[in-house]
Chains A and B, each alone.
Chain A
Amino acid sequence: MRPFSSLGLKPFLWADEAAQKQIQARFYELSRKLHPDRTSHLPDEEREASEAQAAALNADYAKLRDVWRLMESVLATAKPDAGAPRKSGPPPSLAMEYFELQERLEDEGPSDELRVAADELRAEVEAEVRAAEAETLEVARRFPFAGFASQGADAPVPWTSADLASLAERLDRVRFGRSFLRDFDAKFARA
């Protein structure tokens, strides 16, 4: 299963610093075999094949070293429709406040008072995003780096589909919150 198989890893969602070191060492080891600098003497076909492998290796390594990209990738592989983020909007608990602020910005134009209110709301949303992130990482931590897979075998995944569903739900809140913050910042930049 990508992105684990190209580096010969057992599937995981969480890698601490020591694990990251091991993954990096494996990446360097494979790069020393596959990098185009090392294969320039090979016949065209073999060279192209190893360049394609190198590209896949690079793409997978980029995912493995960023927990958010790794979770996105695992979910997209397991449930292809889970990857699409929902449309951005304020978290329901803060929706009323958000719409009021937006209306006032349109009617009254920017003001100091409005800016203070917007900053407060933003801080609340941000706190929600942080909480959602913490909950998501909690799921990831349950599946720590488990070392290298035996040659040729596709290692089984340690998670159940219920685990993935719970991960997807939490990750969705994170995406949702982050994209709301982006929109919010764009909208209230003037305020």
Chain B
Amino acid sequence: MPIQIDLGSSSPRKAPEAKGLIVGIDLGTTNSLVAYARDGRPEVLKGENGETLLPSVLEIDASGKARQIGQGAKALRGSRPEDVLFSVKRLMGRTLKDISEDARRQIPYELVDDVASHQVKVKVGDRLLSPIEISAQILRALKERAEKALGQKVDRAVITVPAYFDDAQRTATKAAGRIAGLEVLRVFNEPTAAALGYGWSFEKPGTIAVFDLGGGTFDVSILRLEAAVLEVLATSGDTQLGGDDFDAALAEAAWNAFHASGLDLDTLDAAQQRHLRAEILAAAEEAKIRLGDVTTTEIRLGPAWFAGGASADKASFTITREAAEKLWAPLVDRAIERCRSALADAKLAPADLDDVVLVGGSTRLAYVQRRVEDFFGRKPNRTLHPDEAVALGAAVQADVLAGGTTDVVLIDVVPLSLGLETMGGVVEKLIPRNSTIPCGATQTFTTYADNQTGFDLHVLQGERETADACRSLARFTLRGVPPMVAGAARVEISFQVDADGILHVAAHEQMSGVAATIQVKPSYGLTDEEVERMLLESFDHAEEDLAERNLRIERIEADRILAATRAAMEKDARLLDADVEAATRAAMADLERLVAGTDHVAIRHGIEALDRASKPFAERRMNLAVEAAMKGKSIDEVERDLPAHPEVR
């Protein structure tokens, strides 16, 4: 029985008893949509005013909840930089250092690195919000929209992600779905979803490229279409490249021009600068759209920004379409480079393709269309709805998973190589990029020193050769390997990538029946406990105040720990020193008294005090379990015997 180290979502894969409808969701950087397939025919579900797009923008109140989501919040973007959040998808599964300096400068709300969960968080007032919980609020709004439109309960979904999303970003998306009260049946690649709308029921087989440039991310996928089969041959992309960057390029130029024409930035404090940036950025997005129709446009500022007022020419920045395209060229260069790489991986030349399909709002830019045409040597196909194609494809996939009428199988790939760090910080790739999923690989490791009893393993994703240049997915320690001469132990590590593109790792020692214990510290994102906590926090407690919610959570936690400690003391009384026992019992009595009260902070302190008091006892139990393991008990037994408190992660 191998030890399972689950790096993926912990949500059970089996459908729950409750059977609501399954919808397809496109959780976009700038806009989100929800769609549903009736009798195999997908349609986008509309909001109260008949609108299909839900802008992925939230106005956040002091308790961290959205006051409004969508168009109303978007209208506030330019004027309320601190508490109007947008483009949060770009933060999913990321830390601050993953986000480029340029991108960060254009985000007017405050970002903070959360060391404990290894992810960036958004600071609104004195609340820290993870991108996962913010995205969950958007998902919940879509869920409500769908329930209203369909008149039935919706509890499961297929959620699309950029094909180039890595493991951390996929896992984060799945967690967001779960927090929103949706069972995520599949995390589905956006260009593959779009291709599904393009027409999988091909009479004549063909090979196409899907060029998907959205608000914040870029993907290119090369696909083969046949009757009832859609196979992805290769995919590439950039999860930090999209329409936002086109806006940012214009905004940066405008900022510099205003600066040069006499807007004294030094007189503005940090908050004012944030306001100014937010205002320019919102104006830049509008200017970008106008440049589709006119060859010259301007970005205008209120005269209040200029000390002593300003003449009209100072408060306005004029830009021609040609100049804008110069600013955008490096961005499109990056996308074209990715197309080249995907074609090379598919072992194809542009001329081998039967069609090039555009999706994503940013492919509306004539400049992008021109560059795509230049590269592929053919006019791109613009028949798919740039905003809706992905959601419609997700709805079709939802229908497939629901056992509906659609008969198509999607054969997709893993976008980035997966590997392990070996001696000297070099990455050994176990699963190369563009491997068809599901897929697996195993690697056997041996000890390099006599009597070595543990291995440190480091799981990585990326194309670079060195560990520090790849994304760290998890570090864990494999312990309890029996002392042997160097090279005698055989530990097999196996990687499995599921149909969501999410990695699961298992390990076991082969040479002896001796079990190994394991410690997993996910390098990123949320632990299961954090997801559970958010789930509790978010569910239907909207009217309760924050303290009440926290109190419930801490009480549940305290009860759990009290029960676990009590059980452990009964079971392993012989491991308990008199003074440790006295201290533990005192801490337990304190905590019981606090649980009866209403102060959640005090309960948290009580839990921590119990943790400290019982620590020597917990450690002894842990050692005992490891000893037992080394005497040859099965891993199953050891896992059962491991102390419930503190938990082994």
Contacts and interface: CB of A to CB of B under 8 A. Distances in A.
Interface of A: 28, 31-32, 35-38, 40-41, 44, 51-52, 54-56, 58-59, 61-62
Contacts of A36: 438, 498-499
B436 interface: yes
A115 B351 CA distance: 34
A51 B400 CA distance: 17
Contacts of A61: 436
Contact of B411 (A35, A40, A44, A56): A35
A55 B401 contact: no
B571 interface: no
13 contacts: A28-B226, A28-B229, A28-B411, A35-B409, A36-B438, A37-B397, A40-B185, A52-B440, A55-B440, A56-B440, A59-B435, A62-B435, A62-B436
B563 interface: no
Contact of B403 (A41, A44, A54): A41
Nearest to A43: B14
Interface in B477-514: 496, 498-499
Interface in B424-442: 435-440
Nearest to B230: A28
A31 B409 contact: yes
A42 to B, nearest CB: 10
Interface string B402-415: 01000001110000
A37 B401 contact: yes
Contact of B228 (A32, A40, A52, A62): A32
A25 to B, nearest CB: 9
B229 A55 contact: no
Nearest to A52: B440
Contact of B499 (A35, A41, A52): A35
A41 B499 CA distance: 15
Given A37-B401, A40-B401, A58 B438 contact: yes
Nearest to A39: B499
Interface string B173-205: 000000000000110000000000000000000
B352 to A, nearest CB: 13
A55 B496 contact: yes
A31 B411 contact: yes
Contacts of A52: 440
B229 A32 contact: yes
Contacts of B435: 58-59, 62
A139 to B, nearest CB: 22
A59 B228 contact: no
Given A55-B439, A59-B435, A62-B436, 7 more contacts: A36-B438, A37-B397, A37-B409, A40-B401, A51-B499, A52-B440, A54-B438
Contacts of B498: 36, 51
B437 A37 contact: no
A189 to B, nearest CB: 15
A22 B403 CA distance: 28
B409 A58 contact: no
A149 B435 CA distance: 26
Given A28-B226, A35-B411, A36-B499, A59 B403 contact: no
| Nearest 6 pairs of A and B residues by beta carbon | A36-B499, A58-B436, A28-B229, A55-B440, A55-B438, A35-B409
